[in-house]
């Protein structure tokens, strides 16, 4: 199995001069020492997705898979077709060799390795491909999304499908019957920009309006989806409003005032707890830290309430209304606001400390510990 320890694959879009609404793109292979490979597409072709995939039929060799679209127009969205290109790595990822390409109906905007094969989102359809000699071989497909698949996440046989304007859908793959079955989706139309699986039943994501949210699949629905068998009970179960049989629950929601472009569950400190690291379109890099104890939740929630009153914004905006710009804030405490406690005048610090029945030093230490134990 090939390893790529020092390489970073990056695809970028470029507006083409003189071609209104059309896009071109290029791929870069970056290493720690130098840029080792660069390839640009023609003005009629744009790369929409990219992934490194290990194919079980090729002894788990890692290939570079790129999804492209032809004659793509950004608005209104249209194209004359799409292709899936497959490349083989050479010289530890410093060079790539073109193997073949497969024509598809629409540009593939989501690619992901899945159980030794390739998972592809093409328009509203989710497909599984295997690597053939002259082109990719389609193994399974199902119409999952309402509009357009833009993201894929997976754990085990479970797949999270992100739709451009209809939030996410939980899908299970039944290997013996070779079926892709959706079993849970959302009640709210979220214009998804990025997602990540927090655990087997929970998904974190962001949308184009600057919101961050956490959705969880019902435990009963999750257990039913993992039951052995054909999944016939999921296929024939009564649908809800022409969607999946079950609905996900909203666990947390917050307005971030920046469009999230990526989100990842990670550990930034050795021995620290996992957190959600996300980046935004305007350059934001931030983390969401989970609380472990109820005591910490009560402490920071009370501190936040006091700071909303004692540290009013210069523009006169109400903090609670601001963080609830589209949807009421739920399950999230504003760490930036809590850290402003250290900037307050001494008399206000002591007043808040008295309300919390703690010393000023204890409050400042607790705020600092929350950051250093999970981030920096």
| Whether domain 8-268 has CATH 2.130.10.10 | yes
Ordered DSSP codes for 135-155? SEEEEEEEE--SS-EEEEEEE
Cα distance from N-terminal residue to C-terminal residue, the chain: 35
Give, in order, the Cα–Cα distances in Å from 182 to each of 16, 64, 236.
39, 28, 11
CB under 8 A, 24+ apart: contacts of 96-101: 96/29, 96/37, 96/64, 99/63, 100/134, 100/135, 101/135
203, pLDDT greater than 90:
yes
Structure tokens at 248: 């996900």
Q: What is the pLDDT of residues 221-231, one digit of tens each?
A: 999 888 876 56
Q: Where are the beta strands (DSSP E) in 16-80?
A: 23-30, 35-40, 45-55, 61-70
Distance CA 296, CA 31 (A): 42
In three-state secondary structure terms, 245 is coil
Q: Which of 74-88, 183-197, 319-333 has the lowest mean pLDDT?
A: 74-88
Query: For residue 131, is pLDDT > 90?
Result: yes
- The predicted model gives 142-160 an average pLDDT of 93
pLDDT band for 166, please (50, 70, 90 cuts): very high
If pLDDT is split at 50, 70 and 90, which confidence band does 240 have? Answer: low
What are the structure tokens assigned to 96, written together?
């790539």
Domain 8-268 matches domain 294-372 at the CATH topology level: no
Cα(182)–Cα(173) distance, integer angstroms: 9
pLDDT of residue 10: 43
Tracing tokens 């184009």 back to the chain, one arrives at 208
pLDDT recorded at residue 25: 62
Q: What is the pLDDT of residues 272-305, one digit of tens each?
A: 789 999 999 999 999 999 998 999 999 999 999 9
Kindly indicate the confidence band of residue 339, based on its pLDDT and cuts at 50, 70 and 90. Answer: very high
Q: Which of 145-154, 284-293, 310-319 has the lowest average pLDDT?
A: 310-319
Identify which of 214, 287, 290, 209 has the alpha carbon closest to the alpha carbon of residue 255.
209
Overall pTM > 0.75: yes
The C-alpha atoms of residue 82 and residue 47 are separated, in whole angstroms, by 10
Residues 63, 69, 70, 71, Cα dihedral to 10°? -150
Provide mean pLDDT across the span 262-275: 89
Q: Residue count of the chain, please give it.
A: 376
- Mean pLDDT computed over 121-147: 93
Q: Could you give the count of Cα atoms lying within 13 Å of 191 in the half-sphere of its Cβ?
A: 7
Contact between 339 and 367 under an 8 Å Cβ cutoff? The reply is yes
The domain spans of the chain are: 8-268, 294-372
Query: How sure is the predictor about 312, in pLDDT bands with cuts at 50, 70 and 90?
Result: confident
CATH of 294-372, one of 2.30.31.10, 3.90.76.10, 1.10.150.910, 3.40.50.720: 1.10.150.910
pLDDT for residue 26: 61
């Amino acid at each position: 199995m090939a390893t790529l320890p020092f390489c970073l694959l990056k695809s970028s879009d470029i507006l083409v001069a003189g071609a209104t609404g059309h896009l071109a793109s290029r791929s870069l292979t970056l290493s720690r020492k130098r840029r080792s490979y660069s390839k640009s597409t023609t003005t009629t072709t744009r790369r929409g997705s990219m992934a490194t995939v290990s194919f079980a039929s090729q002894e788990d060799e890692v290939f570079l898979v790129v999804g492209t679209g032809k004659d793509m127009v950004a608005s209104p969205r249209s194209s004359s077709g799409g292709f899936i290109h497959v490349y083989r790595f050479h010289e530890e990822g410093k060079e790539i060799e073109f193997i073949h390409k497969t024509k598809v109906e629409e540009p593939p905007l989501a690619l992901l390795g899945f159980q030794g094969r390739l998972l592809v989102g093409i328009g509203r359809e989710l497909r599984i491909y295997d690597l053939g000699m002259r082109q990719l071989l389609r193994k399974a497909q199902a119409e999952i999304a309402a509009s357009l698949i833009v993201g894929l996440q997976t754990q085990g046989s479970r797949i999270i499908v992100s739709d451009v304007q209809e939030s996410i859908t939980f899908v299970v793959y039944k290997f013996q019957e070779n079926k892709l079955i959706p079993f849970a989706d959302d009640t709210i139309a979220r214009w998804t920009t990025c997602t990540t699986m927090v655990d087997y039943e929970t998904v974190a994501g962001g949308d184009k309006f600057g919101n961050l949210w956490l959705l969880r699949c019902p435990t009963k629905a999750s257990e039913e989806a993992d039951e052995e068998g054909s999944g016939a009970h999921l296929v024939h179960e009564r649908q809800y409003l022409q969607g999946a049989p079950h609905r996900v629950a909203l666990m947390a929601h917050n307005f971030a005032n920046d469009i999230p472009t990526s989100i990842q569950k990670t550990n930034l400190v050795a021995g620290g707890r996992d957190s959600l690291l996300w980046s935004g379109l305007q350059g934001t890099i931030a983390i969401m830290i989970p609380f472990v104890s109820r005591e910490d939740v009560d402490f920071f929630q009370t501190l936040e309430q006091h700071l909303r009153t004692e540290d009013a914004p210069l523009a006169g905006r109400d903090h609670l209304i601001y963080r609830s710009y589209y949807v009421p804030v739920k399950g999230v405490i504003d760490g930036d606001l809590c850290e402003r406690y250290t900037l307050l005048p001494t008399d206000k610090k002591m007043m808040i400390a008295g309300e919390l029945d703690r010393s000023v030093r204890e409050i400042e230490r607790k705020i600092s510990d929350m950051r250093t134990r999970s981030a920096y």
